[in-house]
Amino acid sequence: MIATRVGRTDPDPAWVTPASMRRMPDALTSPQPFTQRTDPAAIEDLRARLRGTRWPDAPEDAGWSLGTDLDYLRDLVTYWADRFDWAAQEAALAKLPRFRVALGGLGIHFLHARAVAPAGPVLPLVLSHGWPDSFWRYTKVVPLLTDPGAHGGDPADAFDVVVPDLPGYGYSDRPAGPPLDSIAVAGLWAELMALLGYPRFGAAGGDIGSHVSRYLALDHPERVVAVHRTDAGVPVFTGDPADLAPEERAWLDSAAAWGGNEGAYAAVHRTKPQTAAVGLNDSPAGLAAWIVEKLRSWSDCGGHVERSFTKDEILTNLTIYWLTGTIGSSMRMYRANAAIPPAQHARRVEVPSGFSLFPGDVVRPPRAWLTRTANVVRVTEPARGGHFAPFEEPELYAEELRAFFRPYRTAAAAG
């Protein structure tokens, strides 16, 4: 339960750090059901801040060329303040089987949905999200994976699905000390899957979740039967460029160009996240501007964000960030990941690996790079979808996972 109160002079009001989300003792190793109920006063405070937004100026006809389009943002903020029904969204999220458990001294929030009427071996699957979201990324795809027979699929493809919030994201605790990197999070997820009774399992993810899934396969190969990713991350290569194939060199160049044009957010996250966090944690309009620009530019929406996300969907993601006060802690993970030694990036994944490269995603790798870095058994290029494919195109994403993991179900059951 989220107990909330309003206190704008309080640097850490209780509705930002709910009592049910305070640090959990290590002794509490049994998952506890999690239900969120936001105090109406927290929503009234949010609406007041939205209505009191001090808007910046913008050049005429700037559109999205300088960042978030001001006209679009004004419309979204007005809707958030006056028409968005958080209580309805919260009730929908509450229908999902959600839990909290102590791992490594942190309270970890996760969704755990078991297969419905399976017709064969059930494969446990841990799905890892990235930035700027949370377990929200997978909310549409969970029923398609746990009950494929009810959604036009084969009941034999059913999964037990586990979707944790990364530490510092969503309803998981914010680390009080240094942020955790993807390697440490992978260790937590291995511990979580063991706690849930899954000695062997599949792993999948995108964005930071792609890195977490990669390190699960690298550091726990005896437990991960196969790993599926929607990207290979931003490339890190410290060898001789002459050893790369031409398409790999071209990809490195394009990734560097993308970083120069689109990577300002990541530079802030890596270097000075606390500076940005002060404004984003205080201004919901600023938070919206920071995140919505990425939802638009990273999705397969053709420049029209509403083609991939409804206002209610966007605002559900934003309201989770706002109520949990996790924008700063989510950004700090970039700093932790930037400190991962190059030798870790050079390791090759030997666990069977699959990639679904959606057309609207960013920095899409060539096949030569994938085979250099992983034991690739399947690469596909779906017709639609972008960086947030599980949310943008849940049916396509679910079918990608069903097809890729089909040969590994017996191996997981035997484990």
Q: Please report the pLDDT score of residue 410 as a whole number.
A: 84
Q: Is residue 16 part of a domain?
A: no
Could you tell me if residue 185 is inside a domain? yes
Residue 385 lies in a domain: yes
Assess if residue 305 is contained within a domain.
Answer: yes
211-232: average pLDDT: 98
Q: Which two tokens stand for residue 124?
A: 């446990």
The backbone region for 63, taken as left when phi is positive above 0, alpha when psi lies in -120 to 50, beta otherwise, is left
Phi, psi for 377 (deg, rounded to 5): -115, -10
Number of domains into which the chain is organized: 1
Query: Tens digits of per-residue pLDDT, 380-398?
Result: 999 999 999 999 999 999 9
User: Whole-model pTM?
Assistant: 0.93
User: How many Å apart are CA 29 and CA 103, to the nearest integer?
Assistant: 7
What are the angstrom distances between the C-alpha of 408 and each of 124, 205, 225, 251?
11, 17, 6, 31
The predicted pLDDT at position 277 comes to 98
- Contact call for residues 50 and 16 (beta carbons, < 8 A): no
Report residue 8's pLDDT band, with 50, 70 and 90 as the boundaries.
very low
Residue 248 in tokens? 């790999």
Q: Give the span between the Cα atoms of 361 and 357, in whole angstroms.
A: 7
Peptide bond into 97 cis (omega under 30): no
Dihedral angle over CA of 313, 299, 362, 142, nearest 10: 50
* H/E run at residue 126: strand 123-128
What's the half-sphere exposure (Cβ side, CA atoms, 13 Å) at 368?
10
- Cβ atoms 382, 356 nearer than 8 A: yes
Domain that residue 394 falls in: 101-414
Asked if the structure places residue 174 within a domain, the reply is yes
pLDDT at 411: 77
Here the CATH number for the domain that contains residue 218 is 3.40.50.1820
For 360-386, the pLDDT digits (tens) are 999 899 999 999 999 999 999 999 999
Find all residues with CB under 8 Å of 11, minimum gap 6, and list them. none
Instruction: Supply the residues annotated as catalytic.
Output: 207, 334, 387
Burial class (CB in 10 A: 0-12, 13-18, 19+), 327: buried
- The answer to whether residue 29 scores a pLDDT higher than 80 is no
Q: What is the pLDDT of residues 87-113, one digit of tens each?
A: 999 999 999 999 999 999 999 999 999
Give the mean pLDDT of 28-57. Answer: 94
User: Of the ranges 22-26, 83-87, 299-303, 324-328, which one carries the lowest mean pLDDT score?
Assistant: 22-26
**3 within a domain of the structure (yes/no):** no
| Average model confidence (pLDDT) across the chain | 92
Residues 271-323 have pLDDT tens digits of 999 999 999 999 999 999 999 999 999 999 999 999 999 999 999 999 999 99
Split at pLDDT 50, 70, 90, the class of 28 is low
